[in-house]
Chains A and B, each alone.
Chain A
Amino acid sequence: MRQDPTSLYGFINAKLRARIGLMRESHIVEDLLKAKTVVEAVAVLRDSAYATVATAYDRTGDIQQMELALLYNEVEMYQEVSKFLEGKPAEFVLRLLGKIEVENLKNSIRLWYSSIVRRRPMRFRSEYLFKQKLLNDIDWTALINATNWDGVCKALSNTPYSDVVKEFTEQQLDDSGLFILENKLDRQWYEQMMASTAKLSNQDRLVAQSVFVVDIDLKNLLMMVRYGWYYKMDKDVLSSLLLPWGKVYKDKSIREFIQKSPQERDPFAVIEQLYPGLTQSIQQIPEEKKGSVHQDETITLQNLRIEAYLHERRKALYKRMLASDPFTIGVSLAYFFLYNEEDVMIKAILNGKYYGYEEDYIRGVLA
């Protein structure tokens, strides 16, 4: 029997709202930034929800073990929220774990690639991977120990990733790297998520799709600038890489952009049409840097600006979700967003502190 939204979301949304309230009050990120060293930064985590991360550091002194502890926390968080839901929304939340699975798979394949194709010993690094079951029965041990690409394919044979990995050969990967493969894995996840949203109630579907669409727009926009313009990617490859949803993909100017020869492509005209405020911000970069900026740095800064712009849009979207109907999947999605935002910040700051960067520099990168 289908539950009404009030009883389905009443408890979990109240719980998540309380947590969101605590997150907003928390000054953990600010305190981490102020810490002079990674040792002092860890002290900030000690009495927080990230106590396990501090313990990992005490025990190992290893920043990557801290990242693994953060990953465990994140997985537990999704599983916990899912337990408080029922039916399709619970399945949908579990499906979101697929993103972590895909990222973990990409990391595993990168390690494998580095070890087997590029011949850099993997050594202990495989122990930083998450090896428990997330969504699918991936034989992580077999994957990282595969001595050839067939071994990797076999380790993924009972999973939805099988078809994607089988499209590639070891030689192809050796020649052109992992970019296309990783992109296809991402794309597959988006396909699964968009299909999963279709099973939700009308209201939940609209909320969930609006979230994914903003995410997809960001990916497509970055793809267009970075690969379509800067790396001058071929139109067929570029078309196959764009995710087929969202405002950016559907815009006519995008198709025109792709069809043009790489030398004639102008991403800023397209951006101007889609996001008028963003073009100005991107074009100001050389002026802000007083003209001395290298082209590689320009593209990085442009990407950062685009990411920051769309991140703000996403933030606004989640704020709207929290202010609208309290009995939808929106509160959970907003919570995941805020949780991930904090998680990413913590990882970045801990790494920054580990490598000895100054507070201002880290702030600049995170801004």
Chain B
Amino acid sequence: MNLFTRPMELLTAVVLEEKSDAVVKSLLELGVMDFVHINKLAPEQMEKLSSRPSSISRVVLEDTRHRVEALLRQGQVALPSTDILDVKNLEKPDLDSYNVVLDTLGKKLLVLKEKQKESNQLVLGFDEMHRYINEDKGEYLDLRVGEIGHGNADDLGQRLASFGGLLEPYGEGKKYISLTLRRDVSQVSPLLDKFDWTESSDVEAQKMAISLITHRLEEEHRKAGMQRSEIEAEVNDLIKAESAKLISIWSNLRLNELSDQIRSYFAYTRNTTLFSGWVPTDQADEVTKAIFRSSEGQCVTEWTDATQVPRGEVPVAVTSPKLLEPFQKIVNNYSTPEYGTVNPTIFVMVAYLIMFGLMFADVGQGFVLLVVGLLTQLGYSKDPLKKDGMLSRNLSKLLPYLGASSMLFGMLFGSYFGLSLFPALWFNFDAVVSGHASTGSIRDVYGIMGLTIKFGIIVIYTGLFLNWINLFRKKDWLKLTLDKNGIVGGVLFGTGLYMGFGFVKTGYREFPSAPWVSIVITVSLVLLFLRGFLAYYLSVKKGGPKHGMGTVVMDSVMEWLVDLLEIFGGYLSNTLSFMRVAGLGIAHATLMESFKELSSLSSGVGAIAIFVLGNVLVIVLEGLSSGIQSLRLNYYEFFSRYFTGKGVAYEPVGLKTSFSAQK
């Protein structure tokens, strides 16, 4: 893992046009180049370059790929992953033959689906009659018992089926039970008359008719339902049988899309191909070798160091171990760090987990979070097609960490599902909150608040320190020294803390009166005031625009005033903001105490139920609040000190480049 963003270099290469296909393949295989359009050459050079339209539009390739994906998903076949892509299999896509395959399969599926629809309609018809029988709504049914005088029973059965009816033989001879819906009586009666239907007066037969016909109805319903499910399975089987062909088509389409994406950055002269892109420095040699090898040495490559390009144009690559993935996502969700600055992931991880642990300290509840996280992950890994639920894939990866943190702090504070089963390793949080703490380093809630404020100060100073490192690396000396988040800001914050803690120490009676305090504050304020003027002077020196003296003074004064407000108000509120950590921790302990009390008022199963429900409620509500508050403290209190988020993400084109399953 690199503490800073990965150093990058810009490659510009020229290869012979005839070798460009091989070069594309090798670059695609490496998948490390973030291409840039060549548009910064001198105009006379640009004139000599041309772009070449693709023989097949990428949109067409994408649309065809989506067709393949639609069919695979209809068959419950998991979409292929990028792992199956191999540049050796890249060939010119034969879209006509692909479409023939897809159209043929589509037609077969439509035929099956039409059959499934017909089965479904049978099921619906039987459902209706069955429901009336079950709900004792015989008035909607037309049940007849009788004999056919002439004609064929099969013929009558088929004609009754056109009304959704059934004809069931019973006894001997031409005795039948007919079941239709009463709403069709005006058509069914004349039909039965045609077959010379005679109603039976056999009471026994009338009695058994309903059970006989219900049995038949259930049988028909079962058959139709089964047929419907079988067709659904047949659809899946058909697609599965074609899946190898479909995946092969998908793979070639995807490779061609990527290849076309790379080619879209290429510029051409009559015989050569020119391209450019960013590569992490540690992979530059590999790229050079690959280009050299694939072009058989007929190439020219030139590397430009990132320092020679404006920082904002350099793409930012960060490397974090897989272990830190959930926290990397938290950082990415906020923004991309600036090139050359600190990758904050590890700091976010530490800060987030400590914050969460302080707010949600309990071994038992933490264990539940851990298990839920692991089980959810297992569920997703077993069913890759499963849609993200309330516990998304990302959250399920974060939960085990949160659970572990919660367990660790639970041991430190001696809380096991709200019970003090073992002595606290640090201090008993619940006892402190309920006012019963007689041992330990912290014995009242003020102590807890003080603890979280001190934690907040560490977080803020860590943020400031990271900012100073970033500014040092950027050689932005003015901001490093005279900015509100620079050294002056840090000194003022430190002085404020000294004053604040001194004030508390005297029992809120007086501020400390050390002589250096006023000197430090005065010097810092003067330096801050001078910053605007210095910034203007340096800007003009570098060729920036000149302004009138009045404007410069006004700008500087206004900036100074805003900085003062931000330093005195911002630092104070940022620090006090960490009291929410104590607040939520206290709320957590109080809620558990309340449920314990409630549980003690009951006994047996009731007591256990209250205890279990209380824990579930606390896990869900407090777990959510603690997660959100930790995120908020990281984003606002921590990131605002050093994280500019001005970076451009490094997006190399390669076989692993993500693709959208949905258009």
Chain B residue total in the interface (Cβ 8 A): 46
In the complex, which residues of chain A have a beta carbon less than 8 angstroms from the beta carbon of B183? 112, 115-116, 122, 144-147
Judged by a CB distance under 8 angstroms, whether A321 is at the interface is no
In the complex, which residues of chain A have a beta carbon less than 8 angstroms from the beta carbon of B114? 61
Using a CB–CB distance below 8 Å, which chain A residues touch chain B? 27, 30-31, 34-40, 42-44, 46-48, 51, 57-63, 65, 112, 115-116, 119, 121-124, 126-128, 141, 144-147
In the complex, which residues of chain B have a beta carbon less than 8 angstroms from the beta carbon of A59? 120, 228, 232
A17-B107 Cα distance, complex, nearest whole Å: 41
A116-B184 Cα distance, complex, nearest whole Å: 7
Do residues B387 and A39 form an inter-chain contact, with CB atoms below 8 A? Answer: no
Do residues B122 and A36 form an inter-chain contact, with CB atoms below 8 A? Answer: no
Contact A58:B186 (CB < 8 A) given known A39-B110, A43-B73, A121-B164: no
Minimum CB–CB distance from A44 to chain B (whole Å) comes to 7
Q: Which of A47, A59, A62, A115: most chain B Cβ within 10 A?
A: A62
Minimum CB–CB distance from A112 to chain B (whole Å) comes to 8
Contact mask for chain B residues 93-134; partner A; CB cutoff 8 A; 1 contact, 0 none: 000000000110010011011111100111011011000000
Do residues B162 and A121 form an inter-chain contact, with CB atoms below 8 A? Answer: yes
Judged by a CB distance under 8 angstroms, whether B480 is at the interface is no
Judged by a CB distance under 8 angstroms, whether B152 is at the interface is no
Contact of A39 among B69, B71, B661, B662 (CB under 8 A): B71
A128-B128 Cα distance, complex, nearest whole Å: 11
Judged by a CB distance under 8 angstroms, whether B187 is at the interface is yes
Nearest chain B residue, comparing its CB with the CB of A145: B140
Nearest chain A residue, comparing its CB with the CB of B64: A36
Judged by a CB distance under 8 angstroms, whether B199 is at the interface is no
Minimum CB–CB distance from B652 to chain A (whole Å) comes to 26
Do residues B116 and A145 form an inter-chain contact, with CB atoms below 8 A? Answer: no
Contact of B128 among A40, A65, A119, A124 (CB under 8 A): A124
Do residues A61 and B128 form an inter-chain contact, with CB atoms below 8 A? Answer: no
Q: Which of A31, A34, A42, A46: most chain B Cβ within 10 A?
A: A46
Do residues B163 and A61 form an inter-chain contact, with CB atoms below 8 A? Answer: no
Judged by DSSP, the binding face of A is: helix
In the complex, which residues of chain B have a beta carbon less than 8 angstroms from the beta carbon of A42? 70, 74
Do residues A60 and B140 form an inter-chain contact, with CB atoms below 8 A? Answer: no
Which residues of chain B from 550 to 591 have any CB-CB distance to chain A below 8 Å in the complex? none
In the complex, which residues of chain B have a beta carbon less than 8 angstroms from the beta carbon of A115? 183-184
Nearest chain B residue, comparing its CB with the CB of A120: B187
A44-B66 Cα distance, complex, nearest whole Å: 9
In the complex, which residues of chain B have a beta carbon less than 8 angstroms from the beta carbon of A121? 162-164, 184, 187
Contact of A141 among B110, B127, B140 (CB under 8 A): B140
Contact A47:B110 (CB < 8 A) given known A34-B63, A59-B232, A123-B125: no
In the complex, which residues of chain B have a beta carbon less than 8 angstroms from the beta carbon of A27? 663
Known: A47-B661, A47-B662, A61-B120. 10 other contacts (CB 8 A): A30-B663, A59-B228, A59-B232, A61-B117, A112-B183, A116-B183, A119-B187, A124-B125, A145-B181, A145-B183
The contact sample of 15 A-B pairs, CB cut-off 8 A, is A31-B663, A36-B106, A39-B106, A39-B113, A42-B70, A43-B66, A43-B70, A47-B387, A60-B116, A61-B116, A62-B120, A115-B183, A121-B164, A121-B184, A127-B125
Do residues A38 and B663 form an inter-chain contact, with CB atoms below 8 A? Answer: no
Nearest chain A residue, comparing its CB with the CB of B106: A37
Which residues of chain B from 33 to 71 have any CB-CB distance to chain A below 8 Å in the complex? 63, 66-67, 69-71
Contact mask for chain B residues 276-297; partner A; CB cutoff 8 A; 1 contact, 0 none: 0000000000000000000000
Do residues A124 and B124 form an inter-chain contact, with CB atoms below 8 A? Answer: yes
